[in-house]
Amino acid sequence: MTLVKRSNFPSLLNERWLTDFMDTDRFFDSDLLKMTYAPPLPLVNILEEEKEFLLEMAAPGMTKKDFHINIDNGVLTISAENKVEKEEVKKDFTRKEFSFNSFTRSFTLPENASDEKIDATYENGILKLHIGKKMLTKVPPKKEIAVH
């Protein structure tokens, strides 16, 4: 057995970590910070029923107009943008707040999903897509041909 000394072993006292923390320009641009503050994607439930697929997406705070849903080459893409601005003016101060939320999720549809039979509804913070199924033509079984 041999021991190998590792110089890049993670440590709180690692010089690079301290440098990044103390150097605010580099710290706030670090990959770790970008991963930490990335907004989470909406959670999705997908159910396969006898005649359709049901996709439910949790997207509270949105309106029907915020969603954009399209299908291209068997890929279903759901995206949304929501921008809220609020301004409060009082005698001695003005406060203006805004928020911006957006996401995009894509799903590859199975072969038996019909891109012609899709219905979308949004109610109580849940986007529901009913995706109809289509009948697949059966592939004829492989046939062996003998050579005479």
pTM for the full model?
A: 0.61
**71 occurs within a structural domain:** yes
pLDDT tens across the length of the chain (148 residues): 445 545 555 555 555 555 555 555 555 555 555 555 556 788 999 999 999 999 999 998 889 999 999 999 989 999 999 887 777 887 777 777 777 788 899 999 998 999 889 999 999 999 999 999 988 877 788 888 889 8
Residue 57 is predicted with a pLDDT of: 95
Count helices and strands (H / E) in the chain.
Answer: 3, 7
Instruction: Tell whether 48 and 25 lie within a shared domain.
Output: no
Instruction: Tell whether 110 and 51 lie within a shared domain.
Output: yes
Q: Which domain holds residue 23?
A: 13-37
How far is residue 40 from each of residues 8, 101, 118, measured CA to CA in Å? 30, 10, 26
User: Which pair of structure tokens corresponds to residue 17?
Assistant: 């970590």
Count of structural domains within the chain: 2
Which CATH number do you get for residue 55? Answer: 2.60.40.790
Cβ–Cβ < 8 Å for 103, 91: no
3-class secondary-structure state, position 98: strand
3-class secondary-structure state, position 33: helix
**Which sign, positive or negative, has the C-alpha torsion 47, 50, 53, 58?**
negative
Sequence-ordered alpha helix ranges (H) in 1-98: 15-22, 24-27, 31-36
